[in-house]
Structure 1
């Protein structure tokens, strides 16, 4: 899932996003609500072939 201020400027209708962290926290909560555990930083780097 892609998230961040460059993609979404409103948290909900008429309410601007305060920070990228606010959006990431929402996505983590939503993922967990549907039974998915988000990747850790190290797991994501490995999936993307990035150095630690």
Structure 2
């Protein structure tokens, strides 16, 4: 009976760690998008500033 309890506990811990790992992967994507969008606008603004205005 102890083997079953240990296996179940290990299984529960493994499942929890898998869920937490998946959350961090998803969270990294959200952080990358949140940082990337303002950075993209900044870079585009700087590139447009390099182009000379009309004659």
TM-score after normalising by structure 2:
0.31
Higher-helix-fraction structure:
2
Higher strand share: 1
TM-score (norm 1): 0.32
Q: Considering Cα pairs closer than 8 Å and 6+ residues apart, tell me whether 1 or 2 has the greater RCO.
A: 1
